[in-house]
Amino acid sequence: MEPISITEAKYLDGYRLQLTFSDGLTENVDLENELWGEVFEPLKDLENFRKFKLNPFTIEWESGADFSPEFLYRLATKNAA
């Protein structure tokens, strides 16, 4: 099985993103409760949170913060259930 990656990401509102994964799954993910720890502290400011970009595998921010695509996929599939 090929590793999962994010192929598209769109800001919705608050801390919610719509993510499309390499297997075709598109789901909304709320990251508000996942922003803990020093690296994620700047993202609690919505202006900073909205400034993510897509790299070849996942989403990342200028601060160096990112989430693994596998973690985001687990969140997305938990929401879909």
Whole-model pTM over 0.85: yes
Distance, CA of 65 to CA of 58 (rounded, Å): 11
> For residue 14, is pLDDT > 70?
yes
Q: Can you give the residue ranges of every domain in the chain? A: 6-80
Q: How many other CB atoms sit within 10 Å of the CB of residue 18?
A: 14
pLDDT digits (tens, 9 = 90+) for 26-68: 999 999 999 999 999 999 999 999 999 999 899 999 989 999 9
Q: Taking the domain 6-80, which CATH number applies?
A: 3.30.2020.10
